[in-house]
Each structure stands twice: as C-alpha cells, then as structure tokens.
Amino acid sequence: MGRKERAKERREKRLEDIAEQRKIPYTDQQRWWCSETIAVVTGANRGIGYEIARQLAVHGLNVIITSRDIDNGRTAAKALQEEGLNVSVHQLDILDPDSVKMFAEWICESYGGIDILVNNAGVNFNLGSDNSVEYAEKVIATNYFGTKRMIETMIPLMKASTSGARIVNVSSRLGRLNGRRNRLGDVALRQELTDEGTLSEELIDRTMANFLEEVKLGSWTSGLWPQMYTDYSVSKLAVNAYTRLMAKALSNRSEGQQIYINCYCPGWVKTAMTGWAGNSPVEEGADTGVWLALFPGQPVSGKFFAERREINY
C-alpha cells in the first residue's frame, strides 16, 4: 500500500471514530448540562458555527445562534428547529459595540445569563493570496477585537455552577507562535508573548497596532510577521494569546464561579468561507469545539486543541 492510500485509510478511520464518538451519549455522571443550559454560538448561520450549534442542540442544550444578518440567522434557526432542536436566534455584529451591548441586555432579560459561549464569528483569509493584507484592519478588528469584546461583555453574564461556565474560541494553527511553517519572525516579540510574566492585554493590543502600522507603511513583508495568510494568522495569534491571558485572569475565581476558556483549530474545513476547498467535513471541524464546550469532569483552561488533542501554542 502506497503513502497516499495509507493516508486515505487513516483519514477514513479518523472520520469513522469521530462519527462514532458523536453518537455515543454521555453517561448520567458525565452529563453536567440540561435543557436549561444556555449556549451562545456566534456567527452560526452557516458553516462551522452552524454545525457547532446543531451538535450542542442535539446534546439537549438550549442554543442561541447569532448572525450579523438576521434574515440569514432566522433561516438557519428554522432549519434546526425543523429537526426538533431547541434553538433561537438573535442579531449580533461583534464589530459593533452597540450590537454587542444590545445582545447582552437581551440575554440578561430573556435568560438571566449563559453557560457556554462559543466565539466562532470571524473573517477568513483571502483565498487568492498567501500573504493577504488587503483587509487587515477588518480581519484584526473582527477576529481579535470582536472576540475580545464578546468575552469581556459576556463574562459578567456567565452563570455560576459547580461544573463551571465554558468559553471556546475558534482559532487556527496558523496563529501558533512557534509553528514550524508560519511562526512569528520577531524572536523578541515571540518570547514576550510566550512568557506568562510579560504577556498582557496591552502587549497584544500593541502588537496588533504595530502590525497594522506596518501594513500601512508597506513594511510588513520584512519577515517579522507570519508569511502565510498574514493578516488572518496575526489575528489568530492574538486570539490564542488572549485565551491564555484570560485563563490566567479567571483562574482565581471562587468555587462555583469558575469560567474555563480554551481555543481550538477546526482544521481546513469544507465551508463557504474556504470556498469549499477544505479537506475535512464540517462535522469534523465542529467536533472539538463541542467536545470542549461539554467537557465532563474538571475542565482544563488556557489550552489549545485540535482533533480533541492539546497542541502547542
């Protein structure tokens, strides 16, 4: 058997295993949630977000999907409701502070809070360019600052429980600090972002500002920044760093008030955002996100996952 045939066989086996895992119900001892458990999935009118919402609802949760375009959101919610799933929808543009505030107020009035937040809404890389920076400001504003805005706004609304509330950030391996193929070229900055003693929100924000300034000046090709899908990679680097930072900030909360935050890479998934050019089905891309959201027992926090395995930042 050749290399390609073996790789195909391993991939098919992995897909079979994941499909089987999704079918296995959690035991009563593992199942910490119920039909009153509220999960919010942003950007869930299609693709990975839609599938995460569907799988969470299949597990019996009360799922709220959000969409920047409310008509698209309603269409998605209706499709899930027709499957008999407990799903509702609300308009949300994570770029708009007023929209985020209105959403939080609605959550508070309608549900009193949430148990799970999945930050999926974001902007993908430009498929026509390996080193795209045409939309750098929008990509950084959405993927990093929009995600950060949602976390900051929703943390006060996370419900207290013995199992802990959960935040899952959809990220990417392209944002790894020490990735072999696409690492941050600035060694000193990489060390600062890696070291828990120097990592700070101000450092992450300043790094994004410096990158955008170099984009404006045309000096971003100096080799100090990731060289593949540059703006997207930098935005996800920031999401990963912020996940670690927030995990540390939330680690001292008292018993019953814990919030666990992690990020994960769904892989190269066949969705509209990838032009249907991915090599993994959307069910596989959503699986680890759902697994982290429902993690039984004592969850981990501040970690990066792919295919239900922890990977390095």
CA nearest to 237, candidates 217, 263, 259: 263
Examine the residue annotation and report whether 135 is marked as an active-site residue of this protein.
no
Pairing between strand 304-306 and 309-311? antiparallel
Q: For residues 70 and 19, what is the distance between their CA atoms, to the nearest angstrom?
A: 31
Q: For residues 128 and 114, what is the distance between their CA atoms, to the nearest angstrom?
A: 38
Residue listed under structure tokens 């924000």 = 205
Point out the catalytic residue in the list 50, 232, 242, 313: 232
CA nearest to 304, candidates 152, 172, 109, 158: 172
CA nearest to 63, candidates 91, 42, 32: 42
Q: For residues 28 and 5, what is the distance between their CA atoms, to the nearest angstrom?
A: 40
User: DSSP 3-state helix, strand, coil percentages of the chain (rounded to 5)?
Assistant: 50, 15, 40
H helical segments located in 218-299:
230-250, 282-293
Q: Which residues pair with 310 in a beta bridge?
A: 305
- Please count the other Cβ atoms lying within 10 Å of the Cβ belonging to residue 253: 15
- Please count the other Cβ atoms lying within 10 Å of the Cβ belonging to residue 85: 20
Residues in CB range of 152: below 8 A, 6 or more apart: none
- Which residues are catalytically annotated? 232
